[in-house]
Structure 1
Amino acid sequence: MASAPTVEPTEALIGPLSWPVKPKVKLGMTGAEADLTDTEQAFQDMAHGFAATVMRPIGEKLDRLTPEQVIAPDSPYWEFREKYLALDINPVTLSELPPADLGKILPIIMEEFGWGDGGLSVTIGACQLPPLLTLMFGKQYLLERYPVDLIGCWAITEPDHGSDALDPSKQIFHAQGNYGRPNCVAKLVGDKVILNGQKSAWVSNGPIAEVCVLYSAADRGNGPDPENGVVMIVPMNTNGVSRGKSIDKLGQRPLPQGEIFFDNVELSADHIIAGPEEFQRAVYAVHCEANGQMGAIWTGSARAAFEIAWKYAHDRKQGGVPIYRHQAVAQKLFHMYRKVEASRALTRRVALFNFTQPVPALQSAMAAKVTATQTAFEVASDALQMLGGNGNTREYPIEKILRDARASMIEDGCNDILAIKGGFQMMDPDLL
C-alpha cells in the first residue's frame, strides 16, 4: 500500500494560531456563510433594508385586515407594491446576470424577503412567473404587450385538482384512479384559443392580477387532455374573465388569493407560451422555479423566528436569570439554529446547481421547498413555546410567522405529495 505523500510543514499550514485564548465566533445574520462578493452583499443589503422597513411593518398591518381591506384602494398593500417596483428586481433585470451569479443572488434576495414577510414574498414570486415563463420559452414579444411591472398570477390548481395538477406525468397517480374532467379547458381552434372553466381559490394574486400565466388542459378536438395541456398568457381584462372573492384564511393574510373564472374567453393563439407537446416540460420548469424560491423564502421566515427567540432568551428572566442561562433553552436555540443553517445551505446549493446545469433537478428543488417550509414551521413553533404566553400575543410576530409557515407546507404542492413525486423523480428505471 502506497504511503501518504509527505507535506513539508509551513507557517501557512500549521499556524501559529492567532485565536483568542477562549475562542468564540459571533455569527452574522446569515450564520456560517462564506464572505459574499461585493455584488452579493449589495443585493443582500438592499433586500434586507426593504424587508425591514417596508415588508415587515406593512405585512403586520395587512395581517389584521379583512381580505377585502387588503386589496382596497387605500390598503397599505399598494404602498408595498409601489416601493417593490422601485427596486427594479424582476426576471428581465435578473436575467442580465450570468447563471452562476443568479444562482447565488436570487436565494439571497428571496431569503431576505421571506425574513420580512412570507405572504408578501409569495405575492412577489407570483408576479414574477408570467414574465419568467415568457422568457424561458422565448416569447419575448409577449413582454412588449404585457410588461414586467404588471401584477401577475399563476393559475394551475383547480377545485377538483390540487397538487395533482403539478403531476401531468402521473407519477403520484394511483393505478386505479380516474383523473376525471378538468375544471378548466383551453380549446384550440385554428389560430384561436377558447377558455372555459375555473381555477381554484388558491391562485396567488388572483383577486388583483393584471396578467395570468395559465396552465390548463387542452382540447384539440378530441376532448380535454390534462396530460398534454397548454400554458398561455391571459390578460385579466379580457372579456369573459371574472374573479371570486378573496379568501379568508389562517396564514399569509397579506397575500390576496381567489378563484378565476373563464366564460368563453377568446384569445389569439400567439398567447400560447407552451403547447401540448411542451406542456410537461413547462410544468417541470415552473415547478423547479417555484419550489426553489419557496426554499429561500421560508428559510428567511425560519430565520426571523429564530432571531426573535434568540433575542427574547437574552431579555426574559425567570428563576433570577435570563432564560438563556437555562440548559433547556440553550439546547432548543441550538437546534433551531441548526435547522435554519441546514435549510439555507440546501436551498443555496440547489439554486446554484439548478441555474448552472443544462436541466434543473426537480427533486432537488422539491427537497429545498419541503425542508425550508418544515423548518419554518418547526422553528416558529419552538420559538412560540419559548416565548410562552407572550408568543400567543400580537405584541410579538411569532404567532403570525407560525400561521404563515403552516400554510407554506401546502402551497406550491403540499409537502406530502412532493415527497412522493420527488421519490419517483429519483428512481432509475434501468435498475428496476
Structure 2
Amino acid sequence: MSNADSAPLFALTEEHRAIREAVRSLCEAKVAPYAADVDEQVRYPEEAAAALQAADFHAPHVPEEYGGAGADALATVLVIEEVARVDMSASLIPAVNKLGSLPVQLGGSEELKKHYLGALARGEGGFSYCLSEPDAGSDAAAMKTRAVRDGEHWVLDGVKRWITNAGPGKWESDYYTVMAVTDPEKRSRGISAFVVEKSDAGVSFGAPEKKLGIKGSPTREVYLDNVRIPADRMIGAEGTGFETAMRTLDHTRVTIAAQAVGVAQGALDYALGYAQERQQFGKNIADFQGLQFLLADMGMKVEAARQLTYAAAGRSERNDPDLTFFGAAAKCFASDVAMEVTTNAVQVLGGYGFTRDYPVERMMRDAKITQIYEGTNQVQRIVMARQLLAGVQSQV
C-alpha cells in the first residue's frame, strides 16, 4: 500500500507543533527565569500563572462553547509537558485546573458547566480536586466526609488532605470539586460529587505542607465545617461521585505522565549541554563512552515515555475503552522514567548536580511526586493488571 495518500503515522499535526512552539517560547521567557526562586522561596509561581493565563494556557482543556481554548487531550498534554520542562510547580496550574474541573465537564449539568467552566476559562478562579482524606488515600472509597440533604441544600462536613492549589490566597483555587458520602450504607455507590466555593461559609484551609519538591505549588488540607451549598451544585446524580472521580483520573493520569515527560526532558537537556562543556582529562566528558551510554539510555526512555503518553492522550480524547489501561500505563512508566532520568542527570553533573546552583537537583525532587499522586505506581500496576485480566487492552 502506498503511503502517498495516507497521513504520516505517529506525527504531531501542524497545529500541535505550533502549540508546542508557542508554549515553549512563553516558558523560556516568562516561566524558566523564575523557577529557581519559586523553589528557593517556596512561593507561588505568580509570573508563570499570569503568563499562562494571558496566553490562555492556564486551562486549555475548557471547551470553546464555555469560553475556553478548546484544546484536545494531546494539546493539553503538550502544554503541561512544556511547562514542566522548565518548572514542575508551574505545570500544576493547567494540570490541576483540568483535574478539578473535569468532573463538572464529564457529569455536571449544563448550568454548572456554563457557570464554572466559563469562570475558569475567564481566569476568575482556579479549580482543585478534593478526593483524598487523612485516612483515605489509595482507598478513596473509605472517605468520611459527609453530605446531608437539608431541603434545597446539602450540608458538608469533613476534611480533605493533599489538595493541590488549595488556600485563601489570590492565586489559589476558588472552586473545589468535593467527593462526599451521601449514603454510608452503599460505600463507593454512596458517594456524590459537589462544587464548593472558597467563599462558602465554613470552608477553611490548613497550613501549607512542607514538601520535598513542587514547592511552588501549595498543598493544604481543606476543612468543611457545616458548609451549606445549593442542591444544584451536585455534579451528576446522587451516588455517582465515585464513578465520576475514577473516570476523571483515567483522563488526568495522562497529564501526570506529561509532567513526568516534561521534567525528564528538562533534566536531559541540561545534562546534554553540561556534558558537552565540562572537561576532564583534557576533553569534554561527552566524549567518554560510559557517559554516552548513560545519556543514550536517558534519551531512549524519555522518548518511549513520550510516545506512550501521546498514545494515552489520543485514547483520552476519543474516550476509548482501553483508556483506563493506557492512562495507568503512561502515568506509571513516565513517572518511573522521570525519577531515573533526573537522578542520572544529577550524576552527569557530579558534585555540581548535588547543589542548588544547578537545576537538576530541583528536577529530581520535583519528579518524585509523579510516582505518588493521582494514584501511586503500585496502584497503577493493580489497575493495569485488572484491565489485562479482563481482556481490555488495545493492539494499537
1:412 is aligned with what amino acid? E
1:157 and 2:104 aligned: no
Match of 2:153 in 1: 192
1:121 and 2:81 aligned: no
8 A Cα contact 2:347 2:353, kept in partner: yes
Q: How far apart, CA to CA, are the structure 2 residues paired with 1:121 and 1:371?
A: 19
Match of 1:392 in 2: 354
8 A Cα contact 1:130 1:233, kept in partner: no
SS of structure 2 residue aligned to 1:315: coil
Offset of residue 96 of structure 1: 9.0
Which has more radius of gyration? 1
After superposition, where does 1:126-275 map in structure 2 within 5 Å? 126-146=96-116, 147-148=119-120, 149=123, 150-165=125-140, 168=141, 179=142, 182-200=143-161, 202-207=162-167, 208-219=172-183, 225-275=187-237
The runs of 5 or more residues in structure 1 that have no matched partner are 1-6, 13-32, 72-76, 169-178
Match of 1:82 in 2: 50
8 A Cα contact 1:185 1:224, kept in partner: no
8 A Cα contact 1:216 1:226, kept in partner: no
Q: How far apart, CA to CA, are the structure 1 residues paired with 2:48 and 2:24?
A: 14
- Please give the TM-score of this superposition, normalised by the length of structure 2: 0.87
CA shift digits 1:205-251 (9 cap, x unpaired): 112221101122223xx668444301111111100011001111110
CA shift digits 1:263-306 (9 cap, x unpaired): 11011111011334423430222111220111111101101111
SS of structure 1 residue aligned to 2:227: strand
8 A Cα contact 2:108 2:236, kept in partner: no
Q: How far apart, CA to CA, are the structure 2 residues paired with 1:140 and 1:80?
A: 31
Q: How far apart, CA to CA, are the structure 2 residues paired with 1:283 and 1:36?
A: 30
Q: How far apart, CA to CA, are the structure 2 residues paired with 1:156 and 1:273?
A: 14
Pairwise CA RMSD = 2.6
- Please give the TM-score of this superposition, normalised by the length of structure 1: 0.80
8 A Cα contact 2:335 2:367, kept in partner: yes
8 A Cα contact 2:101 2:128, kept in partner: no
Offset of residue 133 of structure 1: 2.3
Match of 1:351 in 2: 313
The runs of 5 or more residues in structure 2 that have no matched partner are none
SS of structure 1 residue aligned to 2:240: helix
CA shift digits 1:62-89 (9 cap, x unpaired): 10114xxx25xxxxx3332222111113
8 A Cα contact 1:284 1:362, kept in partner: no
SS of structure 1 residue aligned to 2:211: coil
Alpha-carbon spacing, 1:365–1:231, altered in 2? closer, same or farther (3 Å) = same
1:48 and 2:24 aligned: yes
Match of 1:64 in 2: 40
1:317 and 2:279 aligned: yes
SS of structure 2 residue aligned to 1:159: coil
Q: 1:278 aligns with which of 233, 237, 240?
A: 240
CA shift digits 1:360-386 (9 cap, x unpaired): 621210110111111111000011011
Match of 1:382 in 2: 344
SS of structure 2 residue aligned to 1:290: helix
Q: 1:107 aligns with which of 67, 70, 77?
A: 77
8 A Cα contact 1:354 1:360, kept in partner: no
Alpha-carbon spacing, 1:138–1:409, altered in 2? closer, same or farther (3 Å) = same
**Percent identity of paired positions between Structure 1 and Structure 2:** 26
8 A Cα contact 1:217 1:224, kept in partner: no
Q: How far apart, CA to CA, are the structure 1 residues paired with 2:326 and 2:28?
A: 30
8 A Cα contact 1:185 1:196, kept in partner: yes
